[in-house]
């Protein structure tokens, strides 16, 4: 899986802290109960001696070993039941001194055998939303609330086909997926909406997605050029532009275009093509404007390697407020 490495390390640490916290808390409750209810202290002393008793039975030998072990077991079950009762009589739940993990399935280890538990997948997805740069939009702009009624009949089939392609790309995303898209169209036609839906779907499948505006992406590269480690887009390290399983660059064409920004942009898209890592670009620019704005080597890479998707219609934000 392509989880973001920093996220993964952090989440693993959180899980091991959670696990230790749950055990420590149970141990603390147990100690308190032992002080408060000596009868339980006595029961626990007997229960924890069971191993030694079994050893004793086995070493002593004699024909009735299994019978005596079974008796021990019955005694223990009765003690455990009694222990729960005493706790309840004293106003505690019967499992008061048990370890209470947040997740019963994995005991807060994050794994069931060697398979990652759903709770850890969820934690990673949540972290992925944050580190994707999408935070506030996640959950609001989805495929399910993407409505085709806003597009004029003449362009609706094209939009449907384009969005259908993006949806199957996202839903089928796996470690071998490699596909690039460039989505063009004027403001308010759902480019950001649909790519947010793609990002969320791919993050939920456990991959590392980086969603940035062209302005902040190139800003990050500029900061590096000036030796400044501070980042504009919350990306700690520009290597994520190369390593993310999916990079989505929103609003290409709104950045300052100069020889530096062009070379950063080329570096990123070219390296990703060579590494067969998927990239999606959103832009208000037309194909002709892309050609005249960027170096040939950039536009030829885009036209050669990116599947174009064209949105046409009337600003949906305006349609909604009417």
List 13, 88, 147, 237, residue binding ligand ADP (CB under 6 A): 147
Binds 193: which of Zn ion, ligand ADP, Mg ion, none (CB < 5-8 Å by kind): ligand ADP
Binds 117: which of Zn ion, Mg ion, ligand ADP, none (CB < 5-8 Å by kind): Zn ion
Instruction: Considering the complex, state which of residue 142 and residue 177 has its C-beta at the smaller distance from ligand ADP.
Output: 142
Residue 208 backbone zone (phi > 0: left; psi -120 to 50: alpha; other: beta): beta
DSSP 8-state assignment for residue 1: -
Minimum separation from the CB atom of position 250 to Mg ion (A): 6
Which tokens belong to 70? Answer: 């079974």
The answer to the question of residue 41 lying near ligand ADP (CB under 6 A) is no
Centroid of chain to Cα 226: 32
Q: Residue 152, SS3? A: coil
The stretch near ligand ADP (CB under 6 A) out of 36-44, 90-98, 118-126, 140-148 is 140-148
Instruction: Find the angle CA(223)-CA(301)-CA(306) to the nearest 5 degrees.
Output: 100
The answer to the question of residue 317 lying near ligand ADP (CB under 6 A) is yes
Binds 141: which of Zn ion, Mg ion, ligand ADP, none (CB < 5-8 Å by kind): ligand ADP
* Cα–Cα nearest to 98, from 109, 111, 87: 87
The answer to the question of residue 192 lying near Mg ion (CB under 5 A) is yes
Say how many C-beta atoms besides its own lie within 10 A of residue 3's C-beta: 22
The answer to the question of residue 190 lying near ligand ADP (CB under 6 A) is yes
Say how many C-beta atoms besides its own lie within 10 A of residue 72's C-beta: 14
List 40, 119, 198, 280, residue binding Zn ion (CB under 5 A): 119
Residue numbers at the binding site for Zn ion (CB under 5 A): 103, 105-106, 117, 119
């Amino acid at each position: 899986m392509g989880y973001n490495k920093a996220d993964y390390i952090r989440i693993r640490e959180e899980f091991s802290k959670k696990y230790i916290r749950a055990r420590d808390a149970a141990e603390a409750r147990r100690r308190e109960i032992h002080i408060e209810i000596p009868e339980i202290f006595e029961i626990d002393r007997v229960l924890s001696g069971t191993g030694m008793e079994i050893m004793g039975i086995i070493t002593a030998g004699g024909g009735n070993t299994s019978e005596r072990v079974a008796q021990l077991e019955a005694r223990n079950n009765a003690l455990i039941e009694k222990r729960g009762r005493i706790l309840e009589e004293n106003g505690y739940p019967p499992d008061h001194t048990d370890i209470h993990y947040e997740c019963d399935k994995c005991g807060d280890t994050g794994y069931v055998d060697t398979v990652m538990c759903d709770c850890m997948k969820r934690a990673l997805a949540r972290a992925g939303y944050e580190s994707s740069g999408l935070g506030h939009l996640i959950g609001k702009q989805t495929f399910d609330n993407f409505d085709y009624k806003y597009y004029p009949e003449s362009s609706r089939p094209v939009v449907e086909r384009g969005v259908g392609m993006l949806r199957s790309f996202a839903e089928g995303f796996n470690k071998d997926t490699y596909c690039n898209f460039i989505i063009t169209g004027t403001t308010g036609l759902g480019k950001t909406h649909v790519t947010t839906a793609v990002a969320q779907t791919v993050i939920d499948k456990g991959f590392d997605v980086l969603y940035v505006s062209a302005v902040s992406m190139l800003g990050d590269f500029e900061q590096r050029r000036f030796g400044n480690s501070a980042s504009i887009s919350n990306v700690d390290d520009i290597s994520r532009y190369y390593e993310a399983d999916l990079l989505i660059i929103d609003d290409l064409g709104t950045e300052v275009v100069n020889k530096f920004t062009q070379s950063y942009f080329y570096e990123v898209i070219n390296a990703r093509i060579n590494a067969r890592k998927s990239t999606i670009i959103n832009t208000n620019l037309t194909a002709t404007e892309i050609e005249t704005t960027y170096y040939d080597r950039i536009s030829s890479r885009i036209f050669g390697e990116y599947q174009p998707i064209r949105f046409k219609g009337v600003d949906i934000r305006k349609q909604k407020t009417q």
